[in-house]
Amino acid sequence: MKVWWYFPQLFWICILGVWTGFCETVIEQVCDSENCEDLDQVLETYSESKTIVEYHWLVKDKTMSRVIEKIVENREQDEGMGARVRRSIGGSQLRNLDPFLLLDEFKVKKPAGFPDHPHRGFETVTYMISGSFRHEDFCGHKGVINSGDLQWMTAGRGILHCEMPEGEELGHGLQLWVNLAKKDKMVKPAYQELLDKDIPRTTSDGVTVKIIAGESFGVKSPVYTRTPTMYLDFTMEKGSTLTQVVPDGWNGFVYVLSGSAMFGPGDKAKLGPAHHTLVLGPGNTLEVKNNSDGVCRFVLIAGKPNNEPIVQYGPFVMNEQHEIQEAINDYRSARNGFENASKWQSSAVKG
């Protein structure tokens, strides 16, 4: 049986699927296939499918490499009490990237730091690159985040806490803010904490990755993300290449910590230098090649957008303006999640 005999059926499939761009995929499948039995199976599968979307993925698992849509240089600025940060997400050039509200690369040494301050409506993810940070909150949770360690804090309905460098060494790390969906904004505060030794990692062909959240090279992180998120710390040796799956429909970006590499497919690849943020376009993979003279280290962060209104007032992030006012009133009145706020001070503030 010849392939062209299937075109009448495929034509109507394309008419139904054209609004989502599936026609191109169907025709490519026909043109690429030399096995009529495979086409029979495709058509039979489609006839049993409930949606064009299901059919699309059954027809062809099409890989689409993400291109870099925007590159932003991240310069140092003051933050907190004498701290210096490079703001990737959350600055004037890239206000947010749903579901991400902020990414700071911070370098802080005593007596600078981030004294007592509140949060509501999102999660903070602190990942130490070197040095140590002491964390303490008004619920009695406290501890030290050392080099390579991770703290994933769900602020939920309310947290008042303090983050200060521990010891005399410079504290160098990343803090990511992940927005919570409306249904999760008022959950009870919670922590997930992993020591450096407990964060999964693997190495392949000159590429080493720490899997903070999500999956890479078949290795998964144990971190639970209420807002589906991937957070990967890559180190690529000179001459190495990488193809990393990034779920279709998720918003993603790269922040380059050191060195440089080419990001994107083939002749569309763009240079990503240190201390720059690269916003990814649509697709389901990211291609990277380190053709520089040294090692390149970067984090790849992506997440499923909430597609909800974002109203932010400093450390409070909600969906509606009246909810922001409620958060301010709750904090000032020490109620509805902030019950201990009026009578608590961190040990760092007390001195």
pLDDT tens digits, one per residue of 245-266? 999 999 999 999 999 999 999 9
The pLDDT score that the predictor gives to residue 61 is 54
Walking along the chain (351 residues) 10 residues at a time, the average pLDDT comes out as 45 45 41 40 42 37 90 92 92 95 96 96 98 96 97 98 95 98 98 98 98 98 98 98 98 98 98 98 98 98 98 97 98 96 93 77
Cβ within 8 Å of residue 318, ≥6 positions away: 120, 121, 185, 311, 324, 327
The SS3 of residue 21 is coil
Entry pTM: 0.83
CA distance 274 to 261: 9
**Using an 8 Å Cβ cutoff, are 173 and 255 in contact?**
no
**First CA to last CA distance, the chain:** 84
Q: Kindly report, residue by residue over 32-75, the tens digit of the pLDDT.
A: 433 433 444 444 444 444 333 333 333 345 789 999 999 999 99
Instruction: List the structure tokens of 17.
Output: 């699927």
The pLDDT score that the predictor gives to residue 351 is 77
Which residue reads 């993810």 in tokens?
125
CA distances from 269 to 65, 234, 261, 280 (A): 10, 18, 9, 11
Element (H, E) at 244: strand 241-245
Residues 146, 150, 307: CA angle, nearest 5 degrees: 150
Question: DSSP secondary-structure letter at 99?
Answer: T
CA distance 315 to 271: 34
Compute φ and ψ for 47, nearest 5 degrees. -65, -25
**Using an 8 Å Cβ cutoff, are 240 and 206 in contact?**
yes
Instruction: List the structure tokens of 350.
Output: 């007390």
Strands (E), 74-228: 76-79, 83-89, 100-108, 114-119, 122-130, 133-137, 142-145, 150-154, 159-165, 171-179, 190-194, 201-204, 207-213, 215-216, 219-220
* Residue ranges of domains in the chain, CATH in brackets: 3-59 (no CATH), 68-303 (2.60.120.10)
